[in-house]
Amino acid sequence: TQLLEQSPQFLSIQEGENLTVYCNSSSVFSSLQWYRQEPGEGPVLLVTVVTGGEVKKLKRLTFQFGDARKDSSLHITAAQPGDTGLYLCAVGVSGTYKYIFGTGTRLKVLA
């Protein structure tokens, strides 16, 4: 069974600080997604990465897929209160049509 571990589980920072959250596995993936979920809402897709070593930027968010395609990181620069939420990584399970989600990193950015 593929397992996605996310770290840290919880993070509380001040507005303007930088942070990095991680998604790790012992398995190799063809692609990986990052989602953000706000309370009472469904997850919203932020990005899909498919190539080992790939770096994608979305405004103040930088996503990196590990060279071996087993891990990924999300870096937020100058965090804002609007970045508060649950950050989830997800991968497709090869040979099936399902996605596995990590347990998430709960981020709180204080004004």
Partner 1 sequence: DAGVTQSPTHLIKTRGQHVTLRCSPISGHKSVSWYQQVLGQGPQFIFQYYEKEERGRGNFPDRFSARQFPNYSSELNVNALLLGDSALYLCASSLPGPPGGYTFGSGTRLTVV
Query: 59 vs 98, which CB is nearer to partner 1?
Result: 98
Tokens found for residue 60: 């103040």
Q: How far is the CB of 50 from partner 1 (least distance, A)?
A: 5
Distance CA 60, CA 51 (A): 21
Q: How far is the CB of 68 from partner 1 (least distance, A)?
A: 17
| Residue 70: Cβ-neighbour burial (10 angstroms; 0-12, 13-18, 19+) | middle
Query: 21 vs 88, which CB is nearer to partner 1?
Result: 88
Place of tokens 């209160």: 81
Q: Which of 41, 35, 98 is nearest to 61 (CA)?
A: 35
**Residues contributing to the site for partner 1 (CB under 8 A):** 4, 30-31, 33, 35, 40-45, 48, 50, 88, 90, 92, 96-104
Q: How far is the CB of 20 from partner 1 (least distance, A)?
A: 19
Query: 1 vs 14, which CB is nearer to partner 1?
Result: 1
